Amino acid sequence: MANPWAGEVELVIDGQRQLLKLTLGALAELEAGLAAGSLIDLVERFEGGAFSTGDVLALVVAGLRGGGWRGRTADLLSAEIEGGPLAAARAAAEVLARAFALPDEAG
């Protein structure tokens, strides 16, 4: 079960509950892999609703890696995400928000 106080978010992929968490290492990897801009640009895209599916995928992969997953981006291309793309986008936005929230703002 995800612990919002620790910045964790749950997402069910291929029938398995997975934890997403943006650790410092996951954030660094995410920023290095962004095609356009910085983490601040990414946050602004999510806040403005102007994010791409690539943004969602990059955040989900980074969050999964921060949660201990050792897969590759390609592993998610054919994965079944419970709730579909909308659930993935919600989880991506939530894990991004939790990574930068103060402890009393999480949850």
Closest by CA to 61, choosing from 39, 80, 101, 33, is 33
Distance (Å, rounded) from C-alpha 97 to C-alpha 101?
Answer: 6
Q: What is the pLDDT of residues 92-101, one digit of tens each?
A: 999 998 888 7
52: alpha, beta or left? (left if phi > 0; alpha if psi -120 to 50): beta
Q: What is the pLDDT of residue 54?
A: 87
Q: Is 30 exposed, middle or buried (0-12, 13-18, 19+ CB in 10 A)?
A: buried
Q: What is the pLDDT of residues 21-33, one digit of tens each?
A: 999 988 888 888 7
Mean pLDDT for all residues in the chain? 87
Q: What is the pLDDT of residue 46?
A: 82
pTM of the model: 0.85
Q: What is the pLDDT of residues 64-81, one digit of tens each?
A: 999 999 999 999 999 999
